[in-house]
Amino acid sequence: MSKNQSRWHCSESRLYDNSNGISRRDLLRNTGGGLGAIALAMMATESETRSASVESNPTGTPGILKGVLHHPPKASRVIELFMAGAASHLDLFDYKPELQRRNGQESNFGESVEAFQNGLGPWLAPVWKFGQYGQSGQYLSEAVSAFAPVADEITFVHNMVGKTGIHSQATLLQTTGFSLPGFPSAGSWISYGLGSMNDNLPTFVVMPDHRGLASNGTKNWDSGFLPGQYSGTVTYPGQPNPIANLQADERYRGRFSSDSEADALRLMAHINRTHASQRPEDSRLDARIRGYELAARMQLAAPEALDLSKEAQHTLKLYGLDHIPSTYPSEINALEETQVFSRKCLTARRLIERGVRFVQIWSGNDNGFPRRNWDSHEDVKRDHGPLARGMAHGASALIQDLKQRGLLDDTIVLWSTEFGRMPSSQGGLGRDHNPYCFTTWMAGGGIKGGLKYGPSDDFGYKPADRDKPTMIYDVHATLLHLLGIDHKKLTYRNNGIDRRLTDVHGHVIREILA
Amino acid sequence: MMKPALNSTMIGCLFILQGIASGDDSNIKQSSQLFRDVVAPSFEKACLSCHNESKSRGGLSLATKSGLLKGSENGPVFEIGKPDESRILEVLLGDKPEMPKKAKPLDPTIIMSVSEWIRTGAVWPDSIKLADKSEGVEIKPLWSLQPVQNQKIPELPQSHQNWRINAIDNFIAKDHISFGFKPTPEADRRTLVRRLYFDLTGLPPMPEDVENFQGNTHPKAYEKLVDHLLATPAYGERWARHWLDIVHYGETHGYDKDKPRPNAWPYRDYVISAFNQDKPYAKFIQEQIAGDVLFPESSDAVKALGLLAAGPWDFIGHAEVPESKIDGKIARHLDRDDMVGTTVGSLMSLTIQCAQCHDHKFDPLLQTDYYRLQAVFAAVDRADKPYYDSPQQQLRYNHLQHQKLAVQRRLPILEQVIRVAGGPKLAQIEERIALTKQSVSQKDHPQYGYHSQIASDQKEVKWVQLDFDNPEKIQKIVISPSSDNFNNIGPGFGFPLRYRVEISDGKGIDDNKIAVADFTSKDLINPGIKPQVIETPSGKGVRHIRVTATKLAPRQNDFIFSLSEITVLDDKGQNISKKAKLTALDSIESPVRWQIKNLSDGIAPALLSDYETNTLKLSELEKSKTELIRQSVSSKVIEERNQVANELQFIESQLKSLPKSEMVYAGTVHHGSGAFAGTGSNGGMPRSIFKLPRGDVKNPMEKVGPGAIKVLKFAPSEFQFEDTDDESKRRAALADWLTHRDNPLFWRSIVNRVWQYHFGRGIVDPPGDFGHMGGTPSHPELLDYLATTFRDTGGSLKALHRQIVTSATYRQQSTGPEEFAQRDSNNIHLWRQNRRKLEAEAVRDSLLAVSGQLDYKMGGPSFKDFVVQQPEHSPHYEYHLANPDDPAAHRRSIYRFIVRSQPQPFLTAMDCADPSIRVDKRNESVSAAAALAQWNHGLVLALSEHLGRRIQSISVKDTASKVRWAFQQCLSRQPSTDELQLLTSYAEKHGFDKLARLLLNLNEFSFVD
């Protein structure tokens, strides 16, 4: 069978709806007919899986899959919102009336529990009231009630389980699928697999918390053993130098004119081309010339992409960016948190529109004092409050905005954190780490929406079904699946091992697919 | 295309009888048939060699149906009727299926048949037992495990005699002849000199170096240049950088908080000097694994132990979580895993860490091998280790330290004897002591007190203050210290070494301020929890009370100020502190335990109601314990214990009498406290190491002793020596095993790595995996020739370099005939040299060198090209705040302070090694980020200005001559007429600094032919 015959090009992808089964696993499940039919179909799939083409975007550089996906995708880009320090599922999204009833009673987990700071005080009720929203009746606490208009877009996964309660390892596990540094982040894997959809911006953009980096610093968006171009590009929207080296170092900037720059780049390209033409076998020389060309285009495109001044007033209003005060109070406050987070969300939408593949937004920096992160050991209400309100406003606006523009159909919004927090207090108003159960959620491209998947137990201490937890591998497998990638097939040989984002684990969570 | 899988006329009635209860007839029929015709023969051919009754790999036997039903050690492998939930199918599927390991992947039709067989009921008669019929399936032995063979140098025909220079060329030429290639001519002298300089020193030649070499007509001019470069200190700096890539050296811990390691650099200096001294390779390795044991008089051999600590370390998982917790166990497991990887993995090019969860999937490495290697490092942690530059002092220190540990290991044995002799009575008393201690603690009163922010400088001044709003009449101020077991500190936690107490009656503290207590002139002895009473002058109204710490209390490499309570008694003896408003310079508000308002809550360790009674009770209990021991244990034992205790005291006093040592961050027995106690207090007794199924610390299996890899037969894989509790012997045994003359991987691995750095690609590629999933040698005889020669001539790396770079193979041009490129685009056959893209450090060093700014100073603490903010908690390493033109940071890149969590952005854009992972070979990515960095980064712009000024200031006057000089300076050659003309007019229009920046960005600047 010739390869071309079975290529799944974009135009043909309508031929394959998902229920028809594209992975061999599906095939095994769904085809009940005679052996011959299955075998035939399977062998066809063999070659097709290597050649399902979906990308038809004329610009950009294809990734390792060369624009040929494993199956037709539902989405082509991702915005991840990451809460550093570990956001409390119990006080935001996972409503536990049982804790309300037992508030203040001595906690009893029915088994011995190891808590990070031995925080096994009395049961602590959710610190905010919960209400139900949307047609689906999703529970949201008052601090995140800004999600009300998009409650039906969101699908919660309430039975997430981590591996340790140590911030650094837990963060790496969520961002890279491994507990130790050195592995590529999900955004890097996706960039590596799918490549770029633009020719003037990075493929993978990261907007860290403006106060500093979370545990592991830049390792959370590092390309690990994948080539360096798949690392996340750090961007600080609204800052004087939003992207490193985009312009000449400010201490020297005044000495260059557009004239001197243009002449230099032209002359350099000329000399480089002459040099390369004498060494025709070495494609790296051309590649480096193209690197300078891409850099030059990025110098023009990035400021435009980051400039919010042309946004319509109603859009700015949606994000809470219509009235920016000249100063904020020195104490942490919801208005400032909203505007800081919203700016990143709106920037994310602009980047997505311009063909950026993966955007990662961080809320919360290192786990120090005073708390400017989600690590609320001392006082959930005080320390989660402003962060949660800001995050919810910005993220909800983002989902609404994407939806209005038709972008939500093929953009996945993923909300993640390190782990959850304990249903017991630490003796006061705070909660200890809970790696045994937490919530993550998704919305948009290919996600059903309005669902609660995988309930936690009555206390939010562990999954209701302890034998069937969801792990980050499953979330990543689902993410890749929606992007048209079989998570078992996107591999990179490193130190003798074909590495995957999902290590040797991961199952697509089919129940939440639209 | 499809084989007929079934023959319907061949249904045996035997199978029909085996139907499953719920299945219908046709399913049963089909299933039986599939079993007989497809499943059974396929299993026998592909699976039974490993999954049989006597040898059930992974716990799975496929000999009988019951074996299949039982599944593997990881659980069931299939479910009747549900192919999609059957793992057995999953492992057979895929482009590179997990199974079978030792046979070709199964034909898809066969897999489908297995699937159908499962769906239709998985009929398998009990009477049928499958057997291994895999004969004919060839199991390829792993080339790298075979002994290194002495190689005869191949004879060459006359036609190639003229080309060859040394034995390397004979091997290469022989291969050329077999495959129809011809070597490319020798490169011109300018190319050669540039190539040699970068390869051997990592720095560009200066124009006069190029000129000297070009003008040198001596027949051995090239060899002389090689010798000269190998003798320059820059050689060690260059090659140490390669080494640090392989062992992922960094100067912060990584992970959360990413604290610095101020004493890591002596290891880096050790590596540089080892290369420069041309230390025999075996000794180089022995020092890095067990230098303290094998070479006790050498301070070098202690610094060398930095290898074991080179990689990242989870501070929180060690310092804040004890080993008794699961997270603490995981952190320590990962720590040893890193040490196994950095030593055996790197030095033998084996992916041994893959055997952590199960036997290696592709290579004959056992899970037991892996845990045996972990057991070698079972006592070791990462910490600062003393070393002495004087050999006598080093020897004495090592000797005393070794003695001390041995004595410390004897103590617990004696304690155990005493405990047994003391029987239940002793146990009872000990339990009561423990209980009493607990009630003395603040279990029921978690309101510890006030805790300042953490300071990195002990002399930072901090204060707390009470404000009564109006003057009050008071007679006494009582200050109660805190107690917190953090870092094993306990009573007196955070109590300042120096402080003063001031009062005032005015509006502010500074109005009419008088000191009522001043302990700021010398350090106080920590009072424990004892309240400090300060009388105040009678009759004076007091509105403000301020306690100012002028020398903070040490905590954990940092300093704090903490108090539990400030009681203020008025003239009637009533405590009025609750009335006061509390303020402080700063405070960690971390309720319930720490908050400023705890200062007046009436709770302090010394004020707790049961405190004094319990303390009394405790001392009585201790007394009766001593008495009981005296009565029930033989005096000989007590005497021995006392003697051991005395001995320990004596050794410790001897150790104390040694002069102050230097420190290196190294793999060592750690003498810590709190969560990060290490094994020091147990005399370095190795932790027990168990085989962990799937690497899960919660389910330890059998205990494993120190050892190495079983499949290698040159030495026993279980280490045998007398005192296995002496951890240093374990490391010494591993060092001996690794560097054994007959360890084939050890010698092949290093010569291959050196080859890679000279040719851009190893004889085996990748250089880090000599297993089945890695590559095979392109020139196996040459690899063994190099390995044996290297080994048998004393392991001299310089000799190896000399041999390689003087060969005709190395001296070829890097551009060859198109025809060969068509056939061998990767130049595996080495019919030309490979063009090299300069590594990040070589680019940076070259920028500094050609602009005249490179500071050649060697060694010592690393330069920092960042500013640290918020060092107390999680240091922020801010590169953009550093001055790019700071001469202190203009040293060679090897001396850069390497941060893990926030890697240096300029070098990272150019693919410098990530210190979180062992890097066998640099990535070569092409990105806009790299272009932007080289074009716009402050360092490049600063150096462009320097170079611009140099161009301006040289004696030649006309612009063209200046341009020619600059061009030569940067690229070691004369510009072409075209280049000269274009660059001259550019310089005339825009200036020499812009010209400099352009030259520093050219492709040719970053590539070496």
The whole-number pLDDT of residue A41 equals 34
The count of other CB atoms within 10 Å of the CB of residue B740 is: 16
Q: Do A228 and B908 touch (CB under 8 A)?
A: yes
Q: Which helix (H) or strand (E) holds A156?
A: strand A154-160
The whole-number pLDDT of residue B131 equals 82
Q: Do B929 and A202 touch (CB under 8 A)?
A: yes
Residues A30 and A175 in one domain: no
Residue of B nearest to A61 (CA): B927
**Burial (CB count within 10 angstroms: exposed 0-12, middle 13-18, buried 19+), residue B75:** exposed
The whole-number pLDDT of residue A54 equals 33
Mutate to test the interface with B, among A166, A231, A285, A376 (most CBs of B within 10 A): A166
Please tell me the distance from the alpha carbon of residue B290 to that of residue B666, in angstroms, as a whole number: 11
Q: Do A496 and B937 touch (CB under 8 A)?
A: no
Task: List the domain range (segments joined by +) for residue A285.
Answer: 253-299
Q: Do B874 and A366 touch (CB under 8 A)?
A: yes
Q: Do B925 and A256 touch (CB under 8 A)?
A: no
The count of other CB atoms within 10 Å of the CB of residue B106 is: 21
The whole-number pLDDT of residue B95 equals 66
Q: Which helix (H) or strand (E) holds B173?
A: helix B167-179
Residues A204 and A138 in one domain: yes
Q: Do A166 and B331 touch (CB under 8 A)?
A: yes
Q: Which residues of A touch B316 (CB under 8 A)?
A: 166-168
Least confident of B90-94, B131-135, B394-398: B131-135
The whole-number pLDDT of residue B831 equals 96
pLDDT per position as a tens digit, B460-505: 999 999 999 989 999 999 999 998 877 767 788 999 999 999 999 8
Residues A379 and A456 in one domain: yes
Smallest Cβ–Cβ distance between A267 and the set B929, B982, B1009 belongs to B982
Whole-complex ipTM: 0.79
pLDDT per position as a tens digit, B695-749: 899 889 999 999 999 999 999 999 988 888 999 999 999 999 999 999 999 999 9
Residues A425 and A372 in one domain: yes
Q: Which residues of B touch A229 (CB under 8 A)?
A: 925-927, 929
Please tell me the distance from the alpha carbon of residue B533 to that of residue B428, in angstroms, as a whole number: 39
Expressed in angstroms, the distance from the first to the final Cα of chain B is 51
A290: contact with B, CB 8 A cutoff? yes
The whole-number pLDDT of residue B1009 equals 94
pLDDT per position as a tens digit, B597-633: 999 988 888 777 666 677 778 788 888 888 888 888 8
How do beta strands A451-453 and A492-494 pair? unpaired
Please tell me the distance from the alpha carbon of residue B19 to that of residue B37, in angstroms, as a whole number: 17
Q: Do B1003 and A264 touch (CB under 8 A)?
A: no
Smallest Cβ–Cβ distance between B591 and the set A36, A378, A488 belongs to A378
pLDDT of B221 strictly over 70: yes
Assess whether the previous peptide bond of A370 is cis (omega < 30° from 0): yes
Q: How many angstroms separate the CA of residue A24 from the nearest CA in chain B?
A: 8
Smallest Cβ–Cβ distance between B109 and the set A39, A294, A298 belongs to A39
DSSP B459: T
Tell whether A404 is covered by a domain: yes
Q: Do B1002 and A228 touch (CB under 8 A)?
A: no
Q: Which residues of A375-392 are buried (b: 16+ CB within 10 A; e: fewer)?
A: bbbbbbebbbbbbbbbbb
Residues A148 and A176 in one domain: yes
Evaluate whether B190 touches B214 at the Cβ level (below 8 Å): yes
Q: Do B936 and A249 touch (CB under 8 A)?
A: yes
Q: Do B903 and A218 touch (CB under 8 A)?
A: yes
Least confident of B14-23, B395-404, B685-694: B14-23
Q: How many angstroms separate the CA of residue B202 from the nearest CA in chain A?
A: 20
CB pairs under 8 A between A and B: 306
DSSP H helices in B674-760: 727-738, 744-759
The whole-number pLDDT of residue B897 equals 98
Contacts of residue B230, defined as CB under 8 A and 6 or more positions apart, other chains included, come to: B200, B798, B801, B802
Q: Do B873 and A366 touch (CB under 8 A)?
A: yes
Rg of chain B, C-alpha, whole Å: 36
3-state secondary structure B376-391: HCCCCEEEEEEECCCH
Smallest Cβ–Cβ distance between A168 and the set B111, B314, B362 belongs to B314
Q: Which residues of A touch B920 (CB under 8 A)?
A: 495
Mean pLDDT by 10 residues, chain A (514 residues): 32 29 33 31 35 42 82 95 97 97 94 86 96 97 98 98 92 95 94 91 94 89 88 91 92 88 93 94 88 90 94 97 93 94 98 96 85 92 96 98 97 98 93 97 96 97 96 98 95 84 95 96
The whole-number pLDDT of residue B390 equals 94
Q: What are the sequence ranges of the domains in chain B? A: 8-119, 150-222+742-834, 280-388+664-738, 407-440+630-658, 450-607, 939-1008
B501: nearest Cα among B480, B479, B516, B511: B516
Q: Do A179 and B937 touch (CB under 8 A)?
A: no
Q: Do B945 and A166 touch (CB under 8 A)?
A: no
Evaluate whether B225 touches B193 at the Cβ level (below 8 Å): yes
The whole-number pLDDT of residue A59 equals 62
pLDDT of B391 strictly over 80: yes
Tell whether A65 is covered by a domain: no
pLDDT per position as a tens digit, B345-377: 999 999 999 899 888 877 889 999 999 999 999
Give the CATH number of domain B450-607; options: 3.40.190.10, 3.40.50.300, 2.60.120.260, 2.60.40.10.
2.60.120.260
A418: nearest Cα among A80, A81, A82: A82
Tell whether A357 is covered by a domain: yes
The whole-number pLDDT of residue B847 equals 98
Contacts of residue B228, defined as CB under 8 A and 6 or more positions apart, other chains included, come to: none
Q: Which residues of B touch A25 (CB under 8 A)?
A: 84, 90, 93
Least confident of A111-125, B61-75, B925-939: B61-75
Q: Which residues of A touch B325 (CB under 8 A)?
A: 114
Q: Do A270 and B993 touch (CB under 8 A)?
A: no
C-alpha of B463 from chain center: 41
DSSP H helices in B760-853: 780-792, 797-805, 818-823, 840-850
B595: left (phi over 0), alpha (psi -120 to 50) or beta: beta
Q: Directed axis angle between helix B938-953 and helix B959-971, to 10°?
A: 130
Q: Do B5 and A35 touch (CB under 8 A)?
A: yes
**Which residue has better confidence, B681 or B882?**
B882
Contacts of residue B135, defined as CB under 8 A and 6 or more positions apart, other chains included, come to: none
Please tell me the distance from the alpha carbon of residue B107 to that of residue A42, in angstroms, as a whole number: 11
Smallest Cβ–Cβ distance between B96 and the set A36, A169, A498 belongs to A498
Q: Which residues of B616-655 are buried (b: 16+ CB within 10 A; e: fewer)?
A: ebbeebeeebeebbeeebeeeebeebeebeebbeebeeee
Unique residue bearing structure tokens 């990638």: A485
Q: Which residues of A touch B1004 (CB under 8 A)?
A: 271-272, 275
Evaluate whether B382 touches B678 at the Cβ level (below 8 Å): no
The whole-number pLDDT of residue A439 equals 98
**Which residue has better confidence, B975 or B440?**
B975
CATH at A449: 3.40.720.10
Angle at B132 between CA B126 and CA B138, to 5 degrees: 155
A360: helix, strand or coil: strand
Q: Average model confidence (pLDDT) for chain B?
A: 89
Residues A145 and A185 in one domain: yes
Please tell me the distance from the alpha carbon of residue B986 to that of residue A264, in angstroms, as a whole number: 8
Q: How many angstroms separate the CA of residue A333 from the nearest CA in chain B?
A: 17
Smallest Cβ–Cβ distance between B936 and the set A245, A276, A294 belongs to A245
Please tell me the distance from the alpha carbon of residue A21 to that of residue A31, in angstroms, as a whole number: 9
How do beta strands B462-480 and B581-584 pair? antiparallel
Q: Which residues of A touch B835 (CB under 8 A)?
A: 279, 282, 284
The whole-number pLDDT of residue A20 equals 31
Q: Looking only at Cα atoms, what is the longest distance across chain A?
A: 80
Q: Which residues of A touch B90 (CB under 8 A)?
A: 25
pLDDT per position as a tens digit, B151-204: 999 999 998 899 999 999 999 999 999 999 999 999 999 999 999 999 999 999
Residues A496 and A466 in one domain: yes
Mutate to test the interface with A, among B87, B88, B112 (most CBs of A within 10 A): B112
The whole-number pLDDT of residue B72 equals 86
List all residues of chain A from 190 to 229 with a beta carbon under 8 Å from chain B: 202, 212-213, 215-219, 222, 224-225, 227-229
Residues A293 and A424 in one domain: no
| The total number of structural domains that make up chain A | 3
Q: Do B928 and A219 touch (CB under 8 A)?
A: no
Which amino acid is present at A315?
T
DSSP H helices in A61-197: 89-92, 97-102, 167-176, 186-194
Tell whether A334 is covered by a domain: yes
Residues A93 and A217 in one domain: yes
The count of other CB atoms within 10 Å of the CB of residue B690 is: 16
Please tell me the distance from the alpha carbon of residue B798 to that of residue A209, in angstroms, as a whole number: 49
The whole-number pLDDT of residue B517 equals 92
Q: Do A249 and B938 touch (CB under 8 A)?
A: yes
Tokens of A474: 């499953």
Q: Which residues of B touch A181 (CB under 8 A)?
A: 254-255, 312, 900, 916-917
The whole-number pLDDT of residue B563 equals 95
Tokens of A50: 């290597």
Residues A32 and A181 in one domain: no
Q: What percent of chain B has pLDDT over 90?
A: 62
The mean pLDDT value for B51-69 works out to 85
**What residues pair up with A130 in beta bridges, in sequence order?**
A141
Q: Which helix (H) or strand (E) holds B438?
A: helix B391-440
Mutate to test the interface with A, among B82, B87, B255 (most CBs of A within 10 A): B255
Please tell me the distance from the alpha carbon of residue B422 to that of residue B400, in angstroms, as a whole number: 33
List all residues of chain A from 426 to 465 with a beta carbon under 8 Å from chain B: 426-430
Q: What percent of chain B has pLDDT over 70?
A: 95
